Structure 1
Amino acid sequence: MTDWLSGPDSLGKLRSLTRISTEDGFIATLAVDHPENYLAMIDPDWRRVTSAQATRSKLELIAALAPHASAFLVDPLWSMAQGIVTGVIPASTGIITGIESLSYQAGGGFGTMTAVREGWTVEKIKTLGADAVKMVVWWRPDAGDADEIRRIVSHLVEECARHQIPLVVEPLWYPADGQDPNSELARDDRLETIVGAAKEFVGLGIDVLKSEFPADLGAASDGASGEEVSTQAARAIDSGCGGTPWVMLSGSSTYEVFRRQLTIVAQAGACGFMAGRAIWTGAVGGTDEQRREALARCQTRLDESLSILRANGRPWRQPPAIDDVAETLTAGWHERYLES
């Protein structure tokens, strides 16, 4: 029997996961949490972009696309608090925010160091009313910091359980020292790492996996087409998740590529996407007219992406029957909630 009073399926997390999903259980998230690479779209010299400019740009995106997304992935600098205060993030739309330390600093480089942002905690995120915590980890299981990353994620799992908020983990592959990222060896390494990350982090107790697309659609391997390799890898990710919900990120791919990728992962069992540039590239910077035209395209892209999910994927959860709940979740549940 599912324990709705404590553990990974407890009421607080279920409610939050429901808020970031469509009514039929798909996670259609627009990511606008990008740091300096977003500012560079407003001005190539991103250091000249003011906080106010960044906020106006991000809230413009959110306002135009809110009716088309189940949730927004927002940053703690320019869009989360501002979206709440202004009401631009609707009450019916979920809020996810990152807890990782990714740039927002002099130089603007990301590096490959995994760390939690100083002064930004699970407790604060939950208190502000967010529905999920997202953590990026730069992941290679053979790297010297692998055990430290496991410790960081395990600690976040505990904190998110304590505060009853889902944890989304986003493992990002990077090449080993001296490895040509465009080589066949690197492609194989990347695929193996992305597939293995599913079982690795689900095993640590995360609530949602945010996965990179595992392969190159245009690269054949051992006689198999890129699409065949990708399909097999996506199925392996789903198997590694073992029922834990997983979604795909869009990375730097074009919308046309993202659409093909989303079809493959949805057919393999993914329940959603958390996409950024593949959706809104062209709608940041430029003239008012250019942005208006681009925002209309973005709305179409989000609607089409959700249609792909619904046609090919499966919801992250099938709610139990009312009769089953009536028999098992009985009066007095509130006294036992979170006690075990």
Structure 2
Amino acid sequence: MSTVQPLTPTAPVAPVAALARPTGTFAMVAMDQRDSLRTLMAEHAGEPRAAITDARMTDFKLAVAAALGPAASALLIDGHYGFRELMDRRLLPATCAPVLAVDVLTQEPGGPVTDTALDTAVDPAALAAEGVRGLKLLVIWRRDRHREERTELAARFVEMCRSAGLASVLEPVARPAPEEESAGFDLDGAIVEAARELAPLRPSLYKCQVPSRGVGTVGDLAARAARIDAVVDVPWVVLSQGVEPADFPKAVEAACRAGASGFLAGRALWTGALGAPDVRADLRGPCADRLGHLADTVDRYGRPWWDGTAAGRAGGTA
């Protein structure tokens, strides 16, 4: 357990506070993967994708929630696999806020997500009433002619959350435009450019990729992450997609040293359990231990959410 004492916020309590640890940092578990989880489960089980039923995916998601929820400050899940069971069975402790993904994914079976839209069928006010504390939107960001449309999509999402009193977690993932795939793609530059474009929409929490996919020393990665911090004046966290699980603890420390407030990660936390003889035992053991160590890291190095705005960094209130 962390020995860091809770801090006192200098800003009024905001919806994002419900997703945070007492220290104002974030140690959140992502369990909103859909077709990509089916692919992962099939690979680790040595079975065809068709053998991974919706029920098996839901069962794994609920097992992750039960095992990691007690050590997480929030858990992100999708509406297709497990959300209703999670809420009806009250699997999460009061210290772990439920966050619902409201992105509709464009994704070929077995392939990457190529685009997203906002699920207009959700009722944010009703979700807030039953205990959901935040919503998440994934945006696939590219240097192409659709940038303005994506910005408008993200803006609608942030306003939807704000109107319902829910935390908005905006997750831009930078991908190369077709002409960049052969010419060489500057991932770190694209992460910063996406942040410069979308962070001014002022989501409650900005979730972004780790620079250089977590490859490099803590000092190198922190210097690269500082470029993100320079253009984001809301609290921000990193995701684990694209980062080797062994590199993720180093990446989290580097990002937090540069100004991040923690992480919202999935694969780096629970992928190892997929190939374990006893999945639940592995989730309760090595996976929970990994989450605990990462939580200690964000408590030690992370910036509290109330200091994550420009006003907070200057000593004012948000």
TM-score of the superposition, structure 1-length normalised?
0.79
Moved over 4 A (4+): 225-229
Partner of 1:79: 82
For residue 102 of structure 1, give the secondary structure of its aligned residue in structure 2: strand
Offset at residue 88 of structure 1 (A): 1.1
- Cα deviation, residue 232, structure 1: 2.3
Deviation at 1:56, TM superposition (A): 1.7
Counterpart Cα distance in 2 of 1:118 and 1:107: 23
1:227 is displaced (CA, Å) by 5.2
Q: Quick check: 1:239 aligned with 2:218?
A: no
Aligned equivalent of 1:208: 205
Match 1:113 to one of 112, 115, 120: 115
The answer on whether the counterparts of 2:211 and 2:225 sit within 8 Å (CA) in structure 1 is yes
Change (3 A) 1:291 1:40: farther
Shift of 1:309: 1.0
TM-score by length of 2: 0.84
CA distance in 2, matches of 1:101, 1:109: 15
In the alignment, does 2:264 pair up with 1:274? Answer: yes
Report the Cα distance in structure 1 between the residues aligned to 2:255 and 2:32, rounded to whole angstroms.
23
How far the C-alpha of 1:228 sits from its partner, in A, is 5.0
Indicate the SS of the match to 1:120: coil
Q: Structure 1 stretch 228-237 or stretch 82-91: which is displaced more?
A: 228-237
Q: CA RMSD in A?
A: 2.6
Distance 1:47 1:116, change over 3 A: farther
The Cα of 1:121 is off from its aligned counterpart by 4.6
CA distance in 1, matches of 2:272, 2:190: 32
Q: Is the aligned partner of 1:67 residue 2:70? A: yes
Native 8 Å contact 1:234 1:264 kept in 2 = yes
* Cα distance between partner residues in 1 of 2:58 and 2:181: 37
Question: CA offset at residue 137 of structure 1?
Answer: 0.5
* Residue 193 (structure 1) aligned with residue 205 (structure 2): no
Say if 2:253 and 2:298, in contact at 8 Å, map to a contact too.
Answer: yes
Q: CA deviation at 1:217?
A: 4.9
SS in structure 2 at match of 1:281: helix
Distance 1:152 1:216 in 2: 26
> Kindly tell me: are residues 40 and 287 of structure 1, through their superposed partners in 2, closer, same or farther at Cα, counting changes over 3 Å?
farther
Give 1:81 deviation, angstroms: 1.6
| DSSP-derived class of the 2:103 partner | coil
- Of 53, 77, 95, which aligns to 2:56? 53
- Equivalent pair of 1:102/1:110 in contact (CA under 8 Å): no
Q: Which whole-Å CA distance do the structure 1 matches of 2:86 and 2:275 have between them?
A: 19
Letter in 2 for 1:91: A
Per mean C-alpha deviation after superposition, the further-off stretch among 116-125 and 73-82 is 116-125
Which blocks of at least 5 consecutive residues in structure 1 are unaligned?
1-8, 219-224, 319-340
Alignment-derived partner of residue 303 in structure 2: 314
* Kept after mapping to 1: 8 A contact 2:128/2:164: yes
Unaligned ranges ≥5, structure 2: 1-10, 308-318
Letter in 1 for 2:232: C
Amino acid at match of 2:147: A
Other structure's SS at 1:302 match: helix
* Bigger RCO (CA 8 Å, 6+ sep): 2
Larger-gyration structure (1/2): 1
Determine the C-alpha separation between the residues in 2 that align with 1:72 and 1:214: 23
Structure 1 residues 176 and 228: CA distance shift in structure 2, 3 A: farther
Pair 1:82–1:216, CA change in 2 (3 A):
closer
Identity %: 28
**Per the alignment, do residues 116 and 109 of structure 1 end up closer, same or farther by CA in structure 2, a change over 3 Å counting?**
farther
Instruction: Give the SS at the match of 1:143.
Output: coil
**Number of residue pairs matched by the alignment:** 295
Please list, as runs of the form range in 1=range in 2, the aligned pairs for 1:152-301 lying within 5 A after superposition.
152-180=153-181, 185-186=184-185, 189-218=186-215, 228-242=219-233, 244-284=234-274, 286-288=276-278, 291-301=280-290
